[in-house]
Structure 1
Amino acid sequence: MSLTNSPVIETQNLILRGPEKVDIEPTIAFLQNEERSIFFGALLNRGDAWRWFALNIGHWHLHGFGYFTIVTKGKEIAGLCGVWFPEGWPEPELGWVVFENFEGKSVAFEAAKAVRSWAYSNLGFTTITSNIVPENKRSIALAKRLNATYEKEYHNDNMGHCYMYRHPSAEDMKTN
């Protein structure tokens, strides 16, 4: 059972749903794996990782959006994708991560397209960004694959030096 008010979004290969108790351990394992989560904000202390999981639940309740859990149609928990806008962020961000063994399978691409479409059609967003640390070449490539364009560099209080990529506007999405 979802711990939030999130909808369920189904794509061809994925189910995007709100966080559930069953997601705690896979999410903590991801956050504590510094190599996998370095660009997301590695949290090597288990308690800090648990608090991030709870933070995402609270984010859903405060904003009406947050990170969905990505689940394959085969019922495997594959990652996180959603809209993030905590204190200190310049504007709402479309973010994604995939868990170990799910990279290179278009999971993040399929999830990000679905979440972006949902944000435009259900949240009334007209545009959205993705904030990516310069060393995260895979996420930069994915942002470009999603037709997001580099907009500027800025300092993120949590992540440090970041690139901001702007996704096509909701209006542009309708005409393309």
Structure 2
Amino acid sequence: MSLTNSPVIKSQNLILRGPEKVDIEPTITFLQNEQRSVFFGALLNRGDAWRWFALNIGHWHLHGFGYFTIVTKGEEIAGLCGVWFPEGWPEPELGWVVFDDFEGKGIAFEAAQAVRSWAYSKLGFTTITSNIVPKNKRSIALAKRLNATYEKEYHNDNMGHCYMYRHPYPEKTENN
């Protein structure tokens, strides 16, 4: 059972749903793996990682959006993808991460397309960005594959030095 009022989004190979209790351990494992989560915000302390999970639930309640859990059709928890807009962010962000053993399979691309489409059609967004740490080459490549364009560099209070990529406007994503 979802801990939020989030919708369920189904794509060709994935189910994107709100956080559930079953997601706590995979999310904490990801956040505590510094090598995997360094660009997302590694939280090596288990308590801090647990609090991030709870923060995402609160984010859903405050904003009506947050990170979805990415679930494969085989019911494997594969990562997180969603819209994030905490205090201090310049504007809403489309973010994604995939957990160990799921990278390089097109999961983040498919999830990001589905969440971006939902943000435009259901939330009424007319634009969305992705904030990416410059050393995160895989996310930069994915942003470009999603037809997002580099807009500027800025200092993010949480992530440090970031590149901001702007995603195409809704009418330009319909055929992607």
- Same fold (TM > 0.5): yes
1:42 aligned residue? 42
Residue 2 (1) aligns with residue 39 (2):
no
Deviation at 1:23, TM superposition (A): 0.1
1:51 aligned residue? 51
Deviation at 1:170, TM superposition (A): 1.3
**1:12 is paired with a residue of what secondary structure?**
coil
1:125 aligned residue? 125
* Aligned residue pair count: 176
Deviation at 1:173, TM superposition (A): 2.3
CA distance in 1, matches of 2:170, 2:47: 38
CA distance in 2, matches of 1:175, 1:102: 26
Residue 106 (1) aligns with residue 106 (2):
yes
2:63 aligned residue? 63
Kindly provide the CA deviation profile for residues 14-51 of structure 1, in whole angstroms up to 9, marking residues without a partner as x: 00000000000000000000000000000000000000
**1:19 is paired with a residue of what secondary structure?**
coil
1:146 aligned residue? 146
For residues 81-100 of structure 1, the aligned pairs below 5 Å read 81-100=81-100
**1:97 is paired with a residue of what secondary structure?**
strand
Letter in 2 for 1:6: S
**1:51 is paired with a residue of what secondary structure?**
helix
CA distance in 2, matches of 1:130, 1:173: 16
- Calculate the TM-score normalised by the size of structure 1: 0.98
Uncovered stretches (5+) of structure 2, i.e. residues with no partner: none
- Calculate the TM-score normalised by the size of structure 2: 0.98
CA distance in 2, matches of 1:69, 1:147: 23
**2:131 is paired with a residue of what secondary structure?**
strand
Uncovered stretches (5+) of structure 1, i.e. residues with no partner: none
